[in-house]
């Protein structure tokens, strides 16, 4: 699984750095080549000589040496890797990563790359439990950094708790899992997400309360299964997942154009809360108050993107087209009728009555409406709804359902 892989190993300061020597040996035994980078603190725990002897190549330690060698040395170093492994990942390096600091070689490499990153945290249990570290970890999870460990156990400082770095073989398993084939490898999918903004004039617009959280979670879940994700998003509250191909749009018309240009996919999922209407006579300059006279805004209907795609001929229609139905009453009946009216394969329906807290919240209660009927899912986090939907999509695309 690791044969031929290029792994950039960043060793930060911590007593667990001694385990990184064994980790290097085990990665190389499995056919990976390892480029080691050490922070200054790491060299207080293991010597660059041992690291370089085990890796069979030089150790990189100094940002300025590297940039002196060639203008963009640090960028090349991180981009040529298939995976960056940070082991041990100290509380300090996690904080730098979460906040985008770049004041030494390790943190600069991590900021200058879009290569996937796996971290193996190691620190004292109080440092691990500290709200600042937990905040940083939550940020790193949101940034799609992969995490292995830490384990509970006795610590070098005499305390007991979570904070011991995973054992080298556990880290190897996490690396192998990263490179394992995934069900949607080689499949392109399209996801729309977020609200649309329909201009009234250059400073005002019509919008809706969609945060983009569910669409973003679906894009991330499909990417986790290996899909190449085209993510067409309106102005959402949550950032797009790292690593997806983002197409940022404002209005329904922009979204329609972006979707039409990205239909060579195995599946299209329309999670966006597209505005049904736009202002027909949007003004090119700011509308001023006029002594109590109200501006006359006339509305016109936006294109129904889902219905357009779902009703394309078989040569242009993605094989699996999925819509969403946000309903407040008779959810299953309305969603079933919407599935037929729009011509899509599946509808993910949810009850967005204000008392459910679903619109703009972190949870969702979905009902999957297909040709076979309605399948009611339990109330789950939006991430879990996304993972469940992504699994169903993979089964359908691969013909295993
Ligand atoms: N949708 C779309 N383009 C639009 C409107 C909606 O692609 N102009 C998609 C949404 O992304 C969603 C589905 O259609 O997947 C359902 O949207 P919804 O607003 O609930 O349906 P409407 O057709 O607007 O029906 P109604 O307002 O009667 O509920």
Query: Which residue in 148, 51, 67 sits closest to 108, CA to CA?
Result: 67
Instruction: Give distance in angstroms: CA of 256 to centre of ligand 1.
Output: 13
Instruction: Give distance in angstroms: CA of 273 to centre of ligand 1.
Output: 7
Q: Is pLDDT of 71 > 60?
A: no
90: Cβ contacts below 8 Å, ≥ 6 apart: 12, 13, 14, 39, 41, 121, 122, 123
Instruction: Give distance in angstroms: CA of 118 to centre of ligand 1.
Output: 39
Domain boundary among 154, 179, 204: 179
| Atom 18 (ligand 1) nearest CA | 325
| Atom 6 (ligand 1) nearest CA | 274
Residues forming beta bridges with residue 189, ordered by sequence position: 229, 267
Query: Which residue in 328, 327, 272 sits closest to 302, CA to CA?
Result: 272
> Where are the alpha helices (H) located in 155-290, listed in sequence order?
168-179, 213-224, 252-260
Q: Which range has the worst mean pLDDT, 9-13, 148-152, 358-362, 397-401?
A: 358-362
Is 389 inside any structural domain? Answer: yes
Is 196 inside any structural domain? Answer: yes
Band of pLDDT at residue 319, cut at 50, 70 and 90: very high
Task: Work out the average pLDDT over 14-28.
Answer: 96
Domain boundary among 112, 144, 179: 179
Is 123 inside any structural domain? Answer: yes
Judge residue 97's burial from the number of C-beta atoms within 10 Å of its C-beta, 0-12 exposed, 13-18 middle, 19 or more buried. Answer: buried
DSSP, res 273: B
Question: Residue 154: its pLDDT value, please?
Answer: 82
Examine the domain organization and report whether 192 and 103 are in the same domain.
Answer: no
pLDDT digits (tens, 9 = 90+) for 276-295: 999 999 999 999 999 999 99
Band of pLDDT at residue 106, cut at 50, 70 and 90: very high
Ligand 1 atom nearest to 302, measured from its CA: 8
Three-class DSSP category at 253: helix
Domain boundary among 179, 205, 232: 179
Examine the domain organization and report whether 237 and 142 are in the same domain.
Answer: no
Examine the domain organization and report whether 56 and 29 are in the same domain.
Answer: yes
Q: Which of the listed residues 191, 325, 341 should we mutate to test ligand 1's pocket, taking the one with most ligand atoms within 8 A of CB?
A: 325
Q: Which range has the worst mean pLDDT, 63-72, 214-223, 260-269, 350-359?
A: 63-72
Task: Work out the average pLDDT over 247-256.
Answer: 98
Query: Which residue in 101, 94, 152, 98 sits closest to 124, CA to CA?
Result: 152
Instruction: Give distance in angstroms: CA of 386 to centre of ligand 1.
Output: 19
Compute CA 283 distance to the chain's CA centroid, rounded to the nearest angstrom: 37
Instruction: Give distance in angstroms: CA of 325 to centre of ligand 1.
Output: 7
The pLDDT > 70 percentage for the chain reads 97
Instruction: Give distance in angstroms: CA of 379 to centre of ligand 1.
Output: 22
Examine the domain organization and report whether 256 and 367 are in the same domain.
Answer: yes
Question: Residue 366: its pLDDT value, please?
Answer: 93
Examine the domain organization and report whether 297 and 371 are in the same domain.
Answer: yes
Task: Work out the average pLDDT over 113-117.
Answer: 91
Question: Residue 66: its pLDDT value, please?
Answer: 59
Instruction: Give distance in angstroms: CA of 40 to centre of ligand 1.
Output: 55
**R_g (Cα) of the chain, nearest Å:** 25
Sign of the CA dihedral with 63 first, then 66, 70, and 74 last: negative
Q: Which of the listed residues 253, 306, 332 should we mutate to test ligand 1's pocket, taking the one with most ligand atoms within 8 A of CB?
A: 306
Question: Residue 124: its pLDDT value, please?
Answer: 93
Question: Residue 105: its pLDDT value, please?
Answer: 94
Q: How many angstroms separate the first and last alpha carbons of the chain?
A: 28
| Atom 28 (ligand 1) nearest CA | 338
Examine the domain organization and report whether 23 and 167 are in the same domain.
Answer: yes
Neighbours of 193 (CB within 10 A): 28
Examine the domain organization and report whether 141 and 274 are in the same domain.
Answer: no
Judge residue 261's burial from the number of C-beta atoms within 10 Å of its C-beta, 0-12 exposed, 13-18 middle, 19 or more buried. Answer: exposed
Q: Is pLDDT of 229 > 80?
A: yes
Task: Work out the average pLDDT over 23-31.
Answer: 97
Band of pLDDT at residue 156, cut at 50, 70 and 90: confident
Please answer whether residues 24 and 36 qualify as being in contact, where contact means their C-beta atoms are separated by less than 8 angstroms: yes
Higher-scoring residue by pLDDT: 43, 63: 43
Residues forming beta bridges with residue 266, ordered by sequence position: none
Ligand 1 atom nearest to 322, measured from its CA: 15
Question: Residue 64: its pLDDT value, please?
Answer: 75
Number of domains present in the structure of the chain:
2
Examine the domain organization and report whether 168 and 238 are in the same domain.
Answer: no
Is 19 inside any structural domain? Answer: yes
Question: Residue 70: its pLDDT value, please?
Answer: 56
Three-class DSSP category at 150: coil
Three-class DSSP category at 279: strand
Which residue of the set 157, 261, 340, 398 is catalytic? 157
Q: Which of the listed residues 191, 338, 339, 364 should we mutate to test ligand 1's pocket, taking the one with most ligand atoms within 8 A of CB?
A: 338
Task: Work out the average pLDDT over 345-355.
Answer: 90
267 is annotated as an active-site residue: no
Q: Is pLDDT of 266 > 80?
A: yes
| Atom 14 (ligand 1) nearest CA | 306
CA distance 120 to 20: 10
Query: Which residue in 213, 228, 93, 193 sits closest to 142, CA to CA?
Result: 213
Domain that holds residue 271: 188-397
> Where are the alpha helices (H) located in 184-285, listed in sequence order?
213-224, 252-260
Is 1 inside any structural domain? Answer: no
Question: Residue 68: its pLDDT value, please?
Answer: 47
- CATH number of the domain bearing residue 64: 3.40.50.1950
Compute CA 126 distance to the chain's CA centroid, rounded to the nearest angstrom: 29
| Atom 17 (ligand 1) nearest CA | 325
Examine the domain organization and report whether 244 and 141 are in the same domain.
Answer: no
Query: Which residue in 295, 25, 68, 44 sits closest to 172, CA to CA?
Result: 25
155: left (phi over 0), alpha (psi -120 to 50) or beta: beta
Neighbours of 398 (CB within 10 A): 12
Examine the domain organization and report whether 336 and 279 are in the same domain.
Answer: yes
Is 209 inside any structural domain? Answer: yes
Examine the domain organization and report whether 193 and 129 are in the same domain.
Answer: no
| Atom 24 (ligand 1) nearest CA | 276
Q: Which of the listed residues 208, 272, 320, 334 should we mutate to test ligand 1's pocket, taking the one with most ligand atoms within 8 A of CB?
A: 272
Question: Residue 62: its pLDDT value, please?
Answer: 86
Examine the domain organization and report whether 321 and 393 are in the same domain.
Answer: yes
Q: Is pLDDT of 41 > 60?
A: yes
Q: Is pLDDT of 354 > 90?
A: no
Three-class DSSP category at 199: strand
CA distance 47 to 151: 25
For ligand 1, residues with CB inside 6 Å are 192, 252, 270, 272, 274, 276, 302, 304-306, 323-326
Q: At what angle do helices 168-179 and 17-29 cross, to 10 degrees?
A: 50
- CATH number of the domain bearing residue 244: 3.40.50.10300
């Amino acid at each position: 699984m690791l044969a031929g892989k290029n792994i950039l190993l960043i060793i930060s300061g911590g007593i667990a750095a001694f385990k990184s020597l064994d980790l290097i040996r085990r990665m190389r035994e499995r056919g990976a080549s390892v480029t080691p980078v050490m922070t200054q603190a790491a060299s207080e725990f293991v010597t660059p000589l041992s690291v370089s002897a085990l890796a069979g190549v030089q150790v990189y330690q100094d940002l300025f040496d590297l940039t002196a060698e060639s203008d963009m040395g640090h960028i090349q170093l991180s981009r040529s890797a298939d995976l960056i492994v940070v082991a041990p990942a100290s509380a300090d390096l996690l904080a730098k990563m979460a906040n985008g600091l770049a004041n030494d070689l390790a943190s600069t490499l991590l900021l200058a790359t879009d290569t996937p990153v796996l971290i193996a945290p190691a620190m004292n249990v109080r440092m691990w439990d500290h709200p600042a570290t937990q905040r940083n970890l939550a940020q790193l999870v949101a940034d799609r950094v992969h995490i292995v460990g830490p384990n509970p156990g006795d610590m070098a400082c005499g305390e007991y708790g979570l904070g011991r770095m995973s054992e080298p073989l556990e880290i190897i398993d996490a690396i192998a899992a990263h490179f394992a084939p995934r069900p949607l490898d080689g499949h392109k999918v399209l996801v729309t997400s977020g609200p649309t903004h329909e201009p009234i004039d250059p400073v005002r617009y019509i919008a809706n309360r969609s945060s983009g959280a569910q669409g973003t979670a679906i894009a991330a879940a499909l990417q986790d299964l290996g899909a190449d994700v085209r993510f067409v998003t309106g102005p959402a509250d949550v950032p797009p997942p790292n690593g997806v191909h983002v197409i940022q749009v404002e209005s329904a018309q922009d979204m329609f154009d972006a979707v039409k240009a990205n239909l060579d996919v195995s599946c299209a999922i329309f999670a966006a809360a597209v505005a049904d209407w736009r202002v027909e006579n949007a003004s090119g300059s700011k509308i001023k108050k006029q002594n109590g006279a109200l501006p006359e805004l006339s509305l016109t209907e936006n294109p129904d993107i889902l219905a357009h795609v779902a009703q394309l001929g078989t040569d242009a229609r993605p094989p699996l087209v999925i819509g969403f139905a946000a309903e407040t009453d008779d959810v299953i009946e309305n969603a079933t009728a919407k599935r037929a009216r729009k011509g899509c394969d599946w509808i993910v329906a949810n009850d967005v009555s204000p008392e459910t807290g679903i619109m703009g919240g972190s949870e969702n209660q979905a009902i999957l409406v297909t040709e076979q009927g309605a399948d009611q899912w339990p109330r789950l986090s939006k991430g879990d709804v996304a993972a469940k939907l992504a699994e169903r999509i993979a089964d359908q695309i691969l013909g295993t359902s």
